[in-house]
Amino acid sequence: MGNNNLETIIEDNKVKYKKYFDVPVDLLFEVWSKPEHLMEWWGPDGFTLTIKSLNFSNGGIWEFVMHGPDGHDYNNKIQFIEIQKPNYILYKHIGDGEGEVDVDFESRIIFEKSGDGTIFTMEQVFSSKQELERVNKKYGAIEGGKQHIGNLEYYLEKILKNNLV
């Protein structure tokens, strides 16, 4: 890995990130679905994660807090719409768990077997182009997405280096 082949495509109300990972599809799916893995890599650079609850199933809810490097805590609540192990995760960001929905989008995570590795696609769909622009301006969403995938890559490299699979 480490070849930084991340492709980022912005189309109207969507941001699509696409990358090849030299890991099996089952491993990539696992690090997206288990708390012990998510704690190690989820979020942009400098963030840490506290998981309040995680029901990784169709219709299940995941509540978590992202602790920012600036000292702020960001509450998040996600609902899993559809999970097809090990190929697909569709979820909707449904607010901060306390009624406020400042950021409302869906994420489609696709894992496609390619040789011994996996083509990974993360597509974030916002209600409008204006909403994507607002969230990007307020939170740096596009750069945050790139860092999120970069942290995933570093974590996978660590797993492989330490033979944790």
User: CA-CA distance, 53 to 97, in Å (whole number)?
Assistant: 11
Residue 1 forms part of a structural domain: no
Give me the pLDDT at residue 102, please: 67
Q: Which pTM value belongs to this model?
A: 0.89
Instruction: Tell me which residue of 109, 129, 131 sits closest to 120, measured CA to CA.
Output: 109
Domain presence at residue 88? yes
The whole-number pLDDT of residue 2 equals 45
Cα 165 to Cα 69: distance, rounded to the nearest angstrom: 30
Contacts of 53 (CB under 8 A, 6+ apart): 61, 62, 63
What's the CA gap between 100 and 22, in Å, rounded?
Answer: 39
Domain CATH code at residue 39: 3.30.530.20
From first to last of its 165 residues, the chain has per-residue pLDDT tens of 444 589 999 999 999 999 999 999 999 999 999 999 999 999 999 999 999 999 999 999 999 999 999 999 989 999 999 999 999 999 999 877 555 556 778 999 999 999 999 999 999 999 999 999 988 998 888 999 999 999 999 999 999 998 765
- What is the reported pLDDT for 101? 52
Query: What residue numbers bound the domain in which 146 lies?
Result: 7-161
Q: What's the token pair of residue 44?
A: 């942009």
In a domain, 70, yes or no: yes
Asked if the structure places residue 83 within a domain, the reply is yes
In a domain, 111, yes or no: yes
CA–CA separation, 87 and 139 (whole Å): 29
- In sequence order, the 6+-apart residues with CB closer than 8 A to the CB of 1 are 21, 22, 23, 153, 156, 157, 160
**Residue 2 maps to a domain:** no
The number of domains in the chain is: 1
Residue 138 lies in a domain: yes
